[in-house]
Structure 1
Amino acid sequence: MTESLVSSNAALGAYRLSQGLRTEPGAAPATGPAGADFADMLAEAGANAVERARSAEAVMTEGLAGGHSTQDVVQATLSLESTVKVTVAIRDKLVEAYQEIMRMPI
């Protein structure tokens, strides 16, 4: 039962993260080299992950001092776990893509 709860929270965290990466409807497409857009997206996602980790840690610390309920601490912990899982999955895909490129013949 715990595994399905973690999977649901991981999916919810990934969905929330993807909502923050979308552009507004009717917004002008970004200009510039194609590589810069992907790099900017990764930098933004990394910054968001660090910010989420810091806020979750703050909630957990305040929870130990009695400032937050147990429910808030559990939600912050699960949010942090899903953020870490998404970050590790992205890192693994980037490493896999790099290794695939390195295997290509010149």
Structure 2
Amino acid sequence: MDMKAVSAIQKFADARATSAINNYVQARPATEPTPEEPSIVQSAGKAALDFAQTLAQTEETAKQAMIGDADPHALVQALAQTELAVEAAVSVRNKVVEAYQEILRMPV
């Protein structure tokens, strides 16, 4: 092989390696988590805050209904929202307990 052929092969190999490196560098950010996505802990915290706010709003509506300042329809609607929130919280709790029990049954 002459020197021109060897030089051409080396340039081709270098260009191919550089291309592969550039492709990897461009594709790598796609596999990294984005900071905008909330974590599971943040999502659970937000859900707990929403649950607490729903309960507080229902309590306030109930107090207003007792003194005659709230519409009875608003009280029924607030109680329905609270019922849904409690059912959702109980369902999540049940799933967590089932998962914990399943982990306890795993052999060590």
Distance 1:97 1:43 in 2: 20
Please identify the structure whose Cα radius of gyration is greater. 2
Instruction: Name the counterpart of 2:54.
Output: 52
TM-score normalised by L of structure 1:
0.64
**Runs of 4+, deviation exceeding 3 Å:** 28-32
Distance 2:68 2:62 in 1: 10
Counterpart secondary structure, 1:77 = helix
**Paired residue type of 1:103:** R
Distance 1:29 1:76 in 2: 37
Stretches of structure 1 that go unaligned for 5 or more consecutive residues are: 1-27
Instruction: Name the counterpart of 1:69.
Output: 71
Q: 1:31 Cα deviation (Å)?
A: 7.2
Q: 1:30 Cα deviation (Å)?
A: 3.6
Higher relative contact order (CA 8 A, sep 6+): 1
Distance 2:48 2:75 in 1: 23
TM-score normalised by L of structure 2:
0.63
Percent identity reads: 28
**Paired residue type of 2:34:** P
CA deviations 1:44-87 (Å, max 9, x no partner) are: 11111011100111011101111111100000011111111100
Instruction: Name the counterpart of 1:24.
Output: none
CA deviations 1:19-41 (Å, max 9, x no partner) are: xxxxxxxxx83479xxx821221
Distance 1:29 1:52 in 2: 30
Stretches of structure 2 that go unaligned for 5 or more consecutive residues are: 1-32
Q: For the Cα contact (< 8 Å) 1:30–1:37, is it kept in 2?
A: no
Aligned length: 76
Distance 1:30 1:92 in 2: 30
Distance 1:63 1:93 in 2: 35
Instruction: Name the counterpart of 2:87.
Output: 85
Counterpart secondary structure, 1:105 = coil
